[in-house]
Structure 1
Amino acid sequence: MFNFKEIISVTLILFSVIDALGSIPVIVDFRRKLGHIESEKATLVAGFIMVLFLFLGERLLNLFGVDVASFAIAGAIILFLLGLEMILGHNIFKHDQLESSSASIVPIAFPIIAGAGTMTTLLALRSAYEIQNILVGVLLNLIFVYLVLKSSNWIEKKLGQGGIDILRKVFGIILLAIAVKLFKTNILIA
């Protein structure tokens, strides 16, 4: 049965992890370089990756001999570093840039939208929430991602650089909190 409270929780957690608004500067940069990003394609591929990992992620990890708690701890560390990157404004991770139309897939769909943090979060959510509520949360986030991709130039103009910087810092703090919670929960299991 659908649970509105769970759907809201999942949606907000994924919203913070995916951070579509915080990715606007990267998205805008790619649009400037490439002229166009296929919003529909990027959203569909990211959704496919997320749903696939939601259902098969644990089996894939078992194939490599990694348990969910260890993956969640590794993901928590990545989320923590991403949060620090957002708050401090320094790049910790190198983001490879492509000069082709495949930028809709790499790096927009993966790893910006459906990256390691999103996948880790999906596994953690799966252990705490009903699957149908997670799927609704994923769908709501994909709709939001699509809208952000379609209107990134308009959003950039309305928010200005200062507004985008504030959003990145707020979502960075939320990511840090999620990372600490993931780490704390899974370190006891591992």
Structure 2
Amino acid sequence: MGFNIKEIITATMVLFAVIDVIGNIPIIIDLRKKVGSLESEKASVVAGIIMILFLFLGKSILNLIGIDVNSFAVAGSLILFFLALEMILGISLYKEEKTNSMTASVFPLAFPLIAGPGSLTAILSLRAEYATVNIIIAIIINVFFMYVVLKTSSKIERLIGENGINIIQKIFGVILLAIAVKLFTSNIQGLFS
């Protein structure tokens, strides 16, 4: 499997929904208030490197502990399912610890907010179905988008408003829920065959 526009678009949408940079704008603004300023370039590059490394090393790590990609994808689809429920219902099943150190651009912004459990699980789940090159392109597109959003988060918040952010979060929650169901059904069959 090689370069495929459809796979790139789907993988980009999955990562965009999981990373939920738009939905995280309030958290980003709160961090910015606490630490003064965030290094958008540093946060984006570190998050991108973490995701690409996990794309290549994640499978080896799983093999080392005796877990196949289908099993991880099924587990990942369940995590994506609960993330989607959080987005749709406006509840919080997992709370991020907040820091006020000057390393906020890397922790918690790049990891675990952007390149967190959800996005890393999504990357390995996508790898079970899509070509690596398409996932890398999707990661790069999302890293670029993250950078733009981080740079303009204050302007975006003023432009969209709190209601707009909530609506976008709900829409991507539904998309993510559908993707989680698709990942679950396509990989659960692989476990029993």
TM-score range relative to shorter protein: over 0.9
Separation in 2 of the partners of 1:6 and 1:53?
19
Amino acid at match of 2:186: T
1:84 maps to a residue whose letter is L
- Work out the CA distance in 1 between the residues paired with 2:70 and 2:99: 33
Separation (CA, whole Å) in 1 of partners of 2:188 and 2:8: 26
The number of residues matched between the two structures is: 190
- Post-superposition Cα deviations, 1:92-135, rounded to whole Å, max 9, x if no partner, equal 10210111022211221112211122122212222322222221
Note the residue ranges of structure 2 that are not aligned, 5 or more in a row.
none
1:24-82, CA deviations, whole angstroms, 9 ceiling, x for partnerless residues? 11111111121111111111111111110111110011222222222222222211111
Q: Which residue of 2 aligns with 1:78?
A: 79
Aligned to 1:102, what secondary structure does the other structure show? coil
Name the structure 1 match of 2:29. Answer: 28
Report the equivalent of 2:139.
138
- The TM-score with structure 2 as length reference comes to 0.92
Match of 1:170 in 2: 171
Q: Following superposition, which runs of at least 4 residues in structure 1 exceed 4 angstroms of deviation?
A: none
Normalised by the length of structure 1, the TM-score is 0.93
% identical aligned pairs: 55
What value does the CA root-mean-square deviation take over the aligned residues?
A: 1.4
For structure 1, which runs of at least 5 residues remain unmatched after alignment? Answer: none
Q: Tell me the amino acid that sits aligned with residue 80 of structure 1.
A: F
Q: Counterparts of 1:110-149 in structure 2 under 5 Å? A: 110-149=111-150
Q: CA deviation at 1:143?
A: 0.3
